[in-house]
């Protein structure tokens, strides 16, 4: 299992995953309401790393832009 630090940017124009200095910046189209940005984050990370969505989980930072995500 791999743990990564993520900074989420909601309401972006397109979904994208960029790595900068060991921190992943994840741009998602979804707004940061009702967990939509978290769901979009899980989908974007799963697609980027080529794993199933069920293999990606948010360990901490559910209500923050800075999160710790586990990829298993």
Residue-wise pLDDT for 19-38, tens only, equals 999 899 999 999 999 999 99
Q: What is the pTM of this model?
A: 0.93
Q: What is the pLDDT of residue 18?
A: 96
* Average pLDDT value for residue range 8-14: 96
Give alpha helix (H) positions in the chain: 36-49
**29, 16 contact by CB (below 8 A):** no
Q: Which of 23, 57, 22, 26 is nearest to 44 (CA)?
A: 26
- pLDDT tier for residue 17 given thresholds of 50, 70 and 90: very high
Domains of the chain: residue spans and CATH: 2-71 (3.30.1200.10)
């Amino acid at each position: 299992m791999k743990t990564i630090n993520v900074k989420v940017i909601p309401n972006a124009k397109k979904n994208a995953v960029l790595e900068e200095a060991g921190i992943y910046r994840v741009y998602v189209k979804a707004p940061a309401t009702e967990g939509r940005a978290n769901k979009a984050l899980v989908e974007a990370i799963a697609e980027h790393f080529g794993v199933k969505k069920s293999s990606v989980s948010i360990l901490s930072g559910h209500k923050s832009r800075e999160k710790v995500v586990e990829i298993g």
